Amino acid sequence: MSTLPFDPLLAAIFAPLAVALAIACGLPKRFSVKLAYVGFGLPLLLALHVWFYYGTAAQTHGYAFLTSYSTGLDSLGIGLKLGLNGISLPLFVLAGIVGFAAGLYAIQSGAERLKIYLMLLLVMQGGLMGVFASVDIFFFYFFHELALIPTFIMVGIWGGRDRNYAAMKLTIYLTLGAMLSLIGLIALYVKSGAHSFDLIELRRVIAAQPLEVTVQHNIFGLLALGFGILVSLWPLHTWAPLGYGAAPSSAAMLHAGVLKKFGLYGLIQIALPLLPAGLIQWSHPLAWLAVVGNVLVIGFVTIAQRDLKQMVGYSSVMHMGYAFLGIAAGSTLGVGGVVLLMVAHGLSVALMFLLTTSVYHRTHTFALDEMGGLAQKAPVLSALFVAATFAGIGLPGFANFWGELTIFVALWKFSPLITILAVAGVVISAVYGLRAAARVFFGPATPEFAKIAAEHPVSDLRWSERLPALILLAALMFIGFWPKSLSTALDATLTPAPAAQVGAVK
Amino acid sequence: MDISVLQTLASRNLWGAITPEILLGGLALVLLVIELLFPKEHGRIVPVAALVGLVTILGGVLFNAPSAYLNQETFNGLLVHTHGGQVMRVFFLLAAIMVCLIARVSLAKQTLPRVEFYHIVLVVTAAMMLLAQSNHLVLFFVALETVTIGLYILVSYYRTSLTLEAGLKYLVMGALSSSLMLFGIVLLYGVAGNPALPAHTAQSMHYGQLAAFLAANPHNFLASIGIVLVLAGVAFKIGAFPFQIWVPDVYQGAPTPVTAFLAVSSKAVGFTALLALAGTVFASYAWLVAPVLTFFAATTLLFGNFAALTQHNVKRLIGLSGVSHAGFLLLGVAAVSHAPMAVGAIYFYLFAYLLASFAVFGVMAHVAGTNDADQELDHYAGLAKDRPFLALVLALGLGSLAGIPPLVGFMGKLFIFIAAFQAGLYGLLAIAVIGVVVSIYYYFGWIKAAFFETWGKSADSPAHPERTPVDFVTGFALSALALAVVVLGFYQGPLGSWLSGR
């Protein structure tokens, strides 16, 4: 049992926010950077702490570490209620790890206006911890937006090419997605008759009196559309490669790695248990969109990319397709696979964005045609990049493997045809992943790269860059070799014992 | 008439119930006396006296809440003191304080007499507070005209050609809408006093009596025309489509503090009236009022947001964005009859709108040059570098107007949406979502002008007027607004329950 004298979840949310506030109040740069280590480190430590003690912690209504705080809107059924179950625990840990890595990478990046950059990242980090710790779906949404706003600002100010256009497009797409899902959540609030945003209360009310089937269809459709935009479901994905292409690396790491999982998490945590009939209605359209659009079409688009960062952006859109397939399959196995894949993808895509930026600092271009032969000059970078590529493809030994494998197994029961198409996607991701690695690192150096290398001497990864990369890789392999560290808790939440179900109804 | 009758009537005039309004009127007179007594110093003394007086009265109202006269009718049914009335009293006082603060900054850039401005603001505020508590169509109309006439003067206060044009437009359109409304009131009066009809009444201007009459005659033709005309008159005040055509020109021409006054207080006046009339008095005509309100809400939301997209002058922009906010509030009003929480939601939205709007207007007053009508988006270039404090306040204010969490504007929109969903207004909700997404574009365009453009490039920003430095009091007020915008976004505490009247 956890023995901390304070609520670890609340502390993990407010530590980064407090540091951000301190920086905003005009802390000198030297202290700001030191304090930022605390702001990024504390959530990680607390996340590891709750991960370690989750199995032995006392559970109330299926949640460990459950606490609630009033914010003055109790009469409307809104209150800050924090807790972790088997679905949110892996993502909470993911947010802690990726946040720490992104923070470390940002601190060493030497960005202009570093203080404000760190401040925004810290706000994002606080929001991310909050998203997955919230049991109240109002605060779940609220923390998501809190994390989203800094993304827009960071793309707009520190972004690369087309940053103004990218920031605007990102803002409008994601606002639309967020508004649609908000309406869906309000629909749940009103139609369930619970008049509470508390997920536990909602579950209790809906278990006692399930929603009408048509209502379930409509709300699920609304949520799938809204969350779908946020998770870049084809054909509403166009913001993602553009946004990630322009975003500064730490922002892309946090957004693609963690924040984007908000929509999937919402579908799993809220829509599936509360709107089972909705899933049955929508699972086939959703699965076909995901497999044809995200996996195959975007897969081929990814192969065609000539820009390394765009390629990573598109590949992340493609992998979201697998997650939607797992959700469409609907079984415990499929959904569990999605959660594992979310964690694995979060770690691997963050690692990929980090390494891509490190490559850029050495080649001064993202154009694949102008690179080559970097492995001779930066062996560590190339080894890490190849490892990240393997993880992305889903080779055994990395966490991604377990996610994709379980999704495919669950999907076979749902539709063998879709499964075959989806498995073909693995070949696609092997093609673009390995080709990119080969282009960048192996073969002879192109004349362009030779020229750049002559102007700017190329060095291998510095330790300040290596450390965050190694943390991410270690987490990927840890889960890859020991998936049980996450799946035990996941299993317990996804398959409640009959007795627990009866208890939930009462 | 027997003297004893007059005595009984007079005994129902509980003057204590309107102490704040009387004090405001007294304060306005004191300002004139100060002007006489200190001919040289009054430029400095008057704003301070007005502010101190307003803050004292606000403190008094808050300290005495809930008022001893709560849920009583006074002055023989002219006034009723409801919880909502108390909330709006505080609202108008807060707004007046902010208008005076902005006026201090803005008037300093003009060579004009400064005393009358504060005087008129105080009188108009007192009238607004009375209007929020009116229970009788006569008092309602008189108070509304006091407000409108005061605003006629304020709108053309700077006497430049654009300002005069704005004043004239406001005068003509205002007169038109007043006459529409008056005609509607007369029709209602006449119909409700018709002895041939059931439940006719001699007191047909009294809200309660009128409501009883309307309930007994739910399909009277003349009464329905009267209702539509009254609603049209109110729609002018709130700038609802199709009565919004005056908004951009008048907002641009009017002095910045007056624009703020129009945008916040005058709009809120319209909504208090609408809540009282559409929500309760006309409740039995829901078959008529509901479609009219739905039409207003839908068209206002669409028009306000799409028209604001193309604006480059920030005063026009904020004017049209204000039209879209009227649309969101109308969505709430349309939901009132089916969702009781809508009333609290509207009050919350109004307060959120007040905080964010005055934060934005406060920044605008500092950025504006001597030509008050000429405030372009380009003038904001490099604000983040020059005046980080103002830029931050601006960003928070605009973010809240756009309804982005964790700012208070988001909570306002959330409550309105919940109420609208409870009332089953799905079509309007869809339009509102489109409105929110479109509004993001122009609010972020403004924020972008202040932040993004120059942070990437070096300092070759276009020419902009001299920016006024922020003095202590204004800085304090702006910080308080910004803080409230942030904190109320996630912690409403007692305010949440106070506004929703629970």
Residue B476: partners with Cβ closer than 8 Å, 6 or more residues away: none
* Domain count of the fold of chain A: 1
Residue A2 lies in a domain: no
Is position A286 within any domain?
yes
Give Dmax over CA atoms of chain B in angstroms.
Answer: 83
CB contact under 8 A, A71 and B492: yes
Residue B402 resides in a domain: yes
Chain B residue nearest residue A168, CA to CA: B441
Please report the pLDDT score of residue A505 as a whole number: 34
| Residue B6 included in any domain | no
Q: Is B159 exposed, middle or buried (0-12, 13-18, 19+ CB in 10 A)?
A: exposed
Mutation site for A-interface testing, chosen from B417, B426, B447 by largest number of A Cβ within 10 Å: B417
* Chain A residue whose CA is closest to B392: A24
The answer to whether residue A1 is domain-embedded is: no
pLDDT for position B454: 53
Cα distances from B377 to residues A299, B312, B453, in angstroms, run 42, 6, 12
CB–CB of B46/B36 below 8 Å?
no
Contact B421 A183 (CB under 8 A): yes
**Domain ranges, residue A48:** 8-505
Q: Is residue B1 in some structural domain?
A: no
Binary contact (A72, B496; C-beta < 8 A): yes
Asked if B490 lies within 8 A of A142 by C-beta distance, the reply is yes
**Nearest residue of A to residue B498, measured between CA atoms:** A72
A252's tokens: 């892309």
Contacts of A32 (CB under 8 A, 6+ apart): A22, A23, A114, A115, A118, A119
Residue A201 lies in a domain: yes
pTM: 0.88
The per-residue pLDDT for range B399-457, each reduced to its tens digit, is 899 888 788 888 889 889 988 888 888 889 899 988 888 888 888 888 888 877 654 44
Asked if A72 lies within 8 A of B502 by C-beta distance, the reply is no
Chain B interface with A: residues with Cβ < 8 Å: 341, 399, 404-406, 410, 414-415, 417-418, 421-422, 429, 433, 436-437, 440-441, 444, 448, 451-452, 455-456, 490-497, 500, 502
- Spatial contact of A174 and A263, defined as CB atoms under 8 Å apart: no
The string of pLDDT tens digits covering residues A254-303 is 888 888 888 889 888 888 888 888 888 888 888 888 888 888 888 888 88
- A-chain residues near B341 (CB < 8 A): 76
Identify residue B281 by its one-letter amino acid code.
Answer: V
Other Cβ atoms closer than 10 A to B175: 12
Return the pLDDT at A497: 43
Is A3 contained in some domain? no
Residue A38 belongs to some domain of the structure = yes
CA separation for the pair A425, A428 (Å, rounded): 5
Residue identified by tokens 């030509």 is: B371
- Distance from the Cα of residue B395 to its chain's centroid: 22
**B500 to chain A: which residues are within 8 Å by CB?**
75-76
Which sign, positive or negative, has the C-alpha torsion A286, A292, A298, A302? positive
Name the closest residue on chain B to residue A162, using Cα atoms. B456
- Residues of B within 8 A of A156 (CB-CB) are 448, 451-452
> What is the Cα–Cα distance from B19 to A1, expressed in whole angstroms?
61
Residues of chain B with pLDDT under 70: 1, 42, 65-66, 113-114, 453-463, 496-502
Assigned token pair, B240 = 């609802």
Contacts for B22 with CB less than 8 Å, ≥ 6 apart: B15
C-alpha of B493 from chain center: 24
B437 vs A190: CB contact, 8 Å cut-off? no
Q: Residue A222's closest chain B neighbor by CA?
A: B430
pLDDT of residue A504: 37
In a domain, B46, yes or no: yes
Q: Give chain B's domain count.
A: 1
Flag if B437 and A179 touch (Cβ within 8 Å).
yes
Interface size between A and B, measured as CB pairs under 8 A: 87
Q: Show pLDDT as tens, one digit a residue, over chain A (506 residues).
A: 456 777 888 888 888 888 888 887 777 777 878 888 888 888 888 888 888 888 787 777 778 888 888 777 777 778 888 888 888 888 888 999 998 888 888 888 777 777 888 888 888 999 888 899 888 888 888 888 888 888 888 887 787 777 778 888 888 888 888 888 888 888 888 888 878 888 888 888 888 888 888 888 888 888 888 988 888 888 888 888 888 878 888 888 888 888 888 888 988 888 888 888 888 888 888 888 888 888 888 888 888 888 888 888 888 888 888 888 888 887 878 888 888 888 888 888 888 888 888 888 877 778 777 777 777 778 888 888 888 888 888 888 888 888 888 888 888 888 888 888 888 888 888 888 888 888 888 877 777 777 777 777 777 777 778 888 888 888 888 888 887 877 777 777 777 543 333 333 32
Residues of B in contact with A163 (CB under 8 A): 452, 456
The Cα of B433 is separated from the nearest Cα of chain A by a number of Å equal to 6
Residues of A in contact with B385 (CB under 8 A): none
Contacts of B406 in chain A (CB under 8 A): 142, 145-146
Instruction: For residue B254, give both structure tokens.
Output: 């009017």
Instruction: Give the structural domain span for B351.
Output: 13-499
pLDDT at position A502, please? 36
Q: Is residue B425 part of a domain?
A: yes
Phi, psi of B73 (to 5 degrees): -95, 135
Bridge partners of residue B74, in order along the sequence: B79
Q: Tell me what ipTM this predicted complex has.
A: 0.82
- Using alpha carbons only, what angle is made at residue B41 by residues B38 and B47, rounded to the nearest 5 degrees? 105
